[in-house]
Amino acid sequence: MSVEDRILAGDRLALARLLTQIENEQPEGFEALSKLFLHTGRAHLLGITGPPGTGKSTLVNRLALALRSRTKEMVAIVAVDPSSPFTGGAILGDRIRMRDLSGDPGVFIRSMASRGALGGLARTTSAVVEALDAGGFGWILIETVGAGQAEVEIARTAHTTLVIEAPGLGDDVQAIKAGILEAADLLVVNKADLPGADKTVCALEASLELASGPHQASGHPGQLGQPDQGWQPPVLQTAALLGEGVDEVIDAILRHRAYLETTGGRTGRDRERLRAEVLALLGDGLLERFLGARKDVDLGLELEQVFARQVSPRQAVQSLLSRDR
Amino acid sequence: MSVEDRILAGDRLALARLLTQIENEQPEGFEALSKLFLHTGRAHLLGITGPPGTGKSTLVNRLALALRSRTKEMVAIVAVDPSSPFTGGAILGDRIRMRDLSGDPGVFIRSMASRGALGGLARTTSAVVEALDAGGFGWILIETVGAGQAEVEIARTAHTTLVIEAPGLGDDVQAIKAGILEAADLLVVNKADLPGADKTVCALEASLELASGPHQASGHPGQLGQPDQGWQPPVLQTAALLGEGVDEVIDAILRHRAYLETTGGRTGRDRERLRAEVLALLGDGLLERFLGARKDVDLGLELEQVFARQVSPRQAVQSLLSRDR
């Protein structure tokens, strides 16, 4: 039985091995993935992001269990973790979380440590999500730690993007909120049992109102219909540690999934995501081929001139490209 | 007088205009920048990052004023802000901060909102930093809001990377810390007047000790000397609102600058940064040329096959590349 057939048949060990191959960028992993890709497109991708200290992981665990029990579909969590391979944060995280969710083979958790260049993580995440999709998971929760540019970009390639806030995170919260509002389909104020939760909810609702002016239609793919027919991101409250408010979040997620399906927004987001993936891979491939063909010699010479401030980076690139015509 | 000459002569208005052209990706901006590049390489780049809620902006303002008064060199702040152009967070931020620092033409602040694709922000930031370097600023503080992958990458291209933490930010802080430890030359626990500061300092010091094992030498360019001669990132405490501890941070920054100059680490980091910039621009250029030459026709066809799950993204790219030989 081939690796692909084993994964399609639900073999968890084969799946875990494939994910490792993908993370290590092994060619056999990508070959298997290409065959599996034909079986993707069924999972609903749920991106979850927000600043540290909001209790994201706890809420994600709760959501996974609730989705599993309410929809009976299999649930995978992909935790994109900025921890380095040196310190082993990702592995530790996996173990701690496995304890909560173990015992149910319909729940699968994978932590991914970020390594390599900027953008590489987004590409690997796409590949991992595709493998899980082919593996039969109906829900794939993509949790990004932090609320930086890369994390928001990864989360917003999902079908449904959930942004988590918490009360009293300090003055920077305002800035973070502004940056991710356009990406959010659902806003959740977690730790709602803490003082200040109402204030955070009000601030988010006010920001949403501000953002839902004439500009908003251009903000997010899949919302390009008439503004009054668009999706209004709800602001919900949870206390994930106590399990409070989780059902309401699931309701909203299911509503958003139904909304995307009836409006065609799901197809739009799928195309957007796949287009971005193809362009990123194409850029990688072109660069690799260019550098490989030249055996790095020309590049080294150009770089030395840049280091010596004789030639600017853009001039160096123009010169490299002009010699390649 | 050309734009370049005016900027080299210290004309702030010409500089501000150039930065806007660079942010808008106007060709005349990049042309001027290419000429100015020959006059770069003098500034010390100080990257500052950390999660929201740590009082980063306040500390950055304090550091800018202190560096200005102690070294007499001109100081620029580049605040890389995830706020969207819709909500205008970046502009508002500029105005608020300008009030603190105005009155001294030797201090210049520029906020950059992130727009466009992942990685685009890093490239624009490089260009803005080069323009400021040519403009005669001895210190360029690159402040990234958030502690995501992109932010850490941007901050670590600096000569000196300062990571800010604060007491009691919740359980996610552990994960963030692990991810940025290798990038940090200096760790600062701000809001040290709050309870729990000592605990945060201890946790950081313990993590640093853990990370300074045999692996650490490969973690960061510029630290590739013998391990016992390497730089030991100090953990400092500040209360930026009260102005406490700022002088000690400046001492450490100056020590690190001297350390880099005596060990040759400065050159190493410069080369690393410029190499990454050239490769990113080369990737962009190759992709642009490829798509331009084909007028997007082949790509559209390949994309349709990907959307229909007939061909995987990697197969589509291989097919596009093979027809381009």
**B236 contacts B189 by C-beta, under 8 angstroms:** yes
**A306 contacts A314 by C-beta, under 8 angstroms:** no
- Which chain A residues are within 8 Å of B312, Cβ to Cβ? 33-35, 37-38
CB neighbourhood size of A195 (10 A): 9
**B184 contacts B161 by C-beta, under 8 angstroms:** yes
Which of B51, B89, B179 comes nearest A83 by C-beta?
B179
- Which chain A residues are within 8 Å of B126, Cβ to Cβ? 313
Distance from CA of A24 to the nearest CA of B (A): 16
CB contact under 8 A, B53 and A270: no
Q: What is the 3-state secondary structure (H, E, C) of chain B?
A: CCHHHHHHCCCHHHHHHHHHHHHCCCHHHHHHHHHHHCCCCCCEEEEEEECCCCCHHHHHHHHHHHHHHHHCCCEEEEEEECCCCCCCHHHHHHHHHHHHHCCCCCEEEEEEECCCCCCHHHHHHHHHHHHHHHCCCCEEEEEECECCHHHHHHHHCCCEEEEEECCCCCCCHHHHHHHHHHHCCEEEECCCCCCCHHHHHHHHHHHHHHHCCCCHHHCCCCCCCCHHHCCCCCEEECEHHHCECHHHHHHHHHHHHHHHHHHCHHHHHHHHHHHHHHHHHHHHHHHHHHHHHHCCHHHHHHHHHHHCCCCCHHHHHHHHHHCCC
Task: Note whether B299 and B252 are same-domain residues.
Answer: no
Residue A19 inside a domain? The answer is no
Task: Note whether B297 and B186 are same-domain residues.
Answer: no
Residue A87 inside a domain? The answer is yes
Residues 6+ apart with CB under 8 A from A218: A224
Q: Based on the structure, what is the number of domains in chain A?
A: 1
- Which chain A residues are within 8 Å of B284, Cβ to Cβ? 283
Q: Which ipTM was obtained for this model?
A: 0.82
Residue A300 inside a domain? The answer is no
3-state secondary structure of A150: helix
Asked if B265 reaches chain A (Cβ–Cβ under 8 Å), the answer is no
Mean pLDDT by 10 residues, chain B (325 residues): 94 93 91 95 92 84 94 92 44 50 80 62 86 97 73 76 81 52 87 90 81 49 44 94 96 97 92 90 90 73 93 93 77
Helix axes A173-180, A197-211, angle to 10 degrees: 40
Produce one character per residue of A1-19: b if its CB has 16 or more CB atoms within 10 Å, e if not: eebbebbbeebeebbebbb
Task: Note whether B45 and B65 are same-domain residues.
Answer: yes
Helix (H) / strand (E) containing A48: strand A44-49
Residues of chain A where predicted confidence (pLDDT) is lower than 70:
81-102, 113-120, 145-152, 154-156, 169-180, 211-229, 294-297, 325
Task: Note whether B95 and B161 are same-domain residues.
Answer: yes
Q: Which domain holds residue B90?
A: 41-265
CB contact under 8 A, A149 and B52: no
Residue B271 inside a domain? The answer is no
CB contact under 8 A, A82 and B179: yes
Asked if B212 reaches chain A (Cβ–Cβ under 8 Å), the answer is no
- Which pLDDT belongs to residue B114? 58
- Which pLDDT belongs to residue B169? 62
Task: Note whether B298 and B192 are same-domain residues.
Answer: no
- Which pLDDT belongs to residue B102? 57
- Which pLDDT belongs to residue B230? 86
- Which pLDDT belongs to residue A104? 80
What is the CATH number for A44? Answer: 3.40.50.300
Chain A from 293 to 312: CB within 8 A of any B CB: 299, 302-303, 306-307, 309-312
CB contact under 8 A, B51 and A84: no
Task: Note whether B124 and B229 are same-domain residues.
Answer: yes
Going by C-alpha positions, the residue among B264, B239, B234, B227 that lies closest to residue B252 is B234
Which of B34, B172, B281 comes nearest A53 by C-beta?
B172
Asked if A102 reaches chain B (Cβ–Cβ under 8 Å), the answer is no
Residue B274 inside a domain? The answer is no
**B61 contacts B102 by C-beta, under 8 angstroms:** no
Residue B111 inside a domain? The answer is yes
- Which pLDDT belongs to residue A119? 59
Task: Note whether B213 and B318 are same-domain residues.
Answer: no
Instruction: Determine the distance from the C-alpha atom of residue B144 to the mean position of all C-alpha atoms in its chain, rounded to a whole number.
Output: 6
Structure tokens that stand for A224 in this block: 């390009």
Task: Count Cα atoms within 13 angstroms, Cβ side, for A218.
Answer: 6
Q: Name the pTM for this structure.
A: 0.78
The tens digit of pLDDT for each residue in A243-269 reads 999 999 999 999 999 999 999 999 989
Which of B89, B118, B215 comes nearest A150 by C-beta?
B118
Asked if B181 reaches chain A (Cβ–Cβ under 8 Å), the answer is yes
**B64 contacts B75 by C-beta, under 8 angstroms:** yes
Beta-bridge partners for B323: none
Biggest CA–CA distance in chain B, Å, is 64
The tens digit of pLDDT for each residue in A216-225 reads 443 444 443 3
Residue A285 inside a domain? The answer is no
Asked if B238 reaches chain A (Cβ–Cβ under 8 Å), the answer is no
Produce one character per residue of B267-276: b if its CB has 16 or more CB atoms within 10 Å, e if not: ebbbbebbbb
Residue A301 inside a domain? The answer is no
CA angle A21, A22, A24 (to 5 degrees): 65
Asked if B227 reaches chain A (Cβ–Cβ under 8 Å), the answer is no
Produce one character per residue of B107-133: b if its CB has 16 or more CB atoms within 10 Å, e if not: bbbbbbbbeeebbbbbbbbbbbbbbbb
Residue type, B252: A
At B194, phi and psi to the nearest 5?
Answer: -85, 155
Task: Note whether B146 and B3 are same-domain residues.
Answer: no
